[in-house]
Amino acid sequence: MKKFLNLSLFLLLAFDLSSNTSLEITTIEIQDSYNTIQRFPGKILPLNYSKLAFEVPGKISEVKIDIGDAVKRNDILAALDPAEMQANLNQAQARFDLAEQALNRFKDLKSKGFISNQELDRANSEFLIAKAQVDLYSVKLEQTFIRAPFDGYIQNRFLDSGTVISPGAPILEIIDSTVVEAHVSVPSYIIESLEEGSSYNFSIGNKIFPATLKRFTKMSNQGSDNRLCIFEFDTFISPGFISYLQLEQVKSTTGAWVPLKSLSQGTQGLWNLYTVSKNNNNQLKVAKEIVELIHVEGDNAYISGTISTGDMVVSGGAEKVIENEILKVN
């Protein structure tokens, strides 16, 4: 169970009847430790990311999609003018048909003893060469298309229809739409408390998302004590978002939670805290305590000093109290 602020409203006191100003008094509880959440920034990245290009030269005849479009694996995204490749394939197919017919005739002649083995081997070789040419231009014709390598979103579009391109020139950029990762730089001493395969929470915007620690680098970067941790999300999150890994840490320090507004700046890095207690005349008297500020979380502060469980602390209107002032209940 997380040990947070344990304060309860005790009573409202009026210390200046002329201005009718009230004090908020709360009681505190001493703890031997406190929990804090450390946040480490990271960036959301797609698991798969590719810049797509044609493998053959030509003129772009069509780009079917645009930035932001969702695509499925093997969808045709763009195409080159296929006329030249189709002509080459037709020519190769004609040569193949001719070589196949010749090979069949030579096999028939060989079975009747009219030709030698060498002549049959030559016909078979020409057949295989012709077949290889058909296979080659079939592949080349397929390469006039760009197909989606995976389900994803189009991140960028670099060129349009009518552009004459060389092989390898980027046409589109696609990111995976199924899985994203967070890359987070984490100090080595924190890594020791993490476990691969375990789930950890990330803050993205105003929402919390769980992610699984997949792996981390075994060596630190030169000059840094941090290591790169890779977390994988079950939920798709738009890449590019800044995420924050939230790790709960237990700090073994004796102290108490108080409202941050109950503290005022002291000297030498210490802080002032005003408490209320009864004097010998059973009157409520203000006393100043010198405390050390250990940790701040939201509107609360964890402090240590000469304070005890049950002490009544001025949590509201503290800027108007005077040390040793006698308070009167309104």
Predicted pLDDT at 314: 84
Tens of pLDDT, residues 150-206: 999 999 999 999 999 999 999 999 999 888 999 999 988 888 889 999 999 999 988
CATH of domain 82-143: 1.10.287.470
Tell me the CA end-to-end span of the chain in Å, nearest whole number: 39
What is the DSSP annotation of 259-321? EGGGEEE-STT-EEEEEEEE-TTS-EEEEEEEEEEEEEETTEEEEEES--TT-EEEEESGGG-
| Secondary structure tally for the chain: helices H, strands E | 3, 23
Helices (H), the chain: 83-111, 117-142, 188-191
Query: Both tokens of residue 280?
Result: 């010998």
CATH architecture for segment(s) 8-33+253-327: Beta Barrel (2.40)
117-142 helix and 83-111 helix, angle to the nearest 10 degrees: 160
Predicted pLDDT at 217: 83
Q: Identify the residue whose tokens are 């941050």.
A: 260
Predicted pLDDT at 317: 58
Spatial CB neighbours of 309, under 8 Å, sequence gap ≥ 6: 28, 29, 30, 256
Tens of pLDDT, residues 224-256: 788 899 999 988 888 888 999 999 888 889 999
The domain ranges of the chain are 8-33+253-327, 39-47+179-250, 51-81+144-175, 82-143
Predicted pLDDT at 319: 58
CATH architecture for segment(s) 39-47+179-250: Beta Barrel (2.40)
The C-alpha atoms of residue 240 and residue 232 are separated, in whole angstroms, by 15
Predicted pLDDT at 196: 93
Query: Both tokens of residue 210?
Result: 């769980």
Sites in the chain below the pLDDT cut of 70: 1-22, 219-223, 280, 282, 316-330
Predicted pLDDT at 8: 42
Q: Which fold has domain 51-81+144-175?
A: OB fold (Dihydrolipoamide Acetyltransferase, E2P) (2.40.50)
Predicted pLDDT at 298: 83
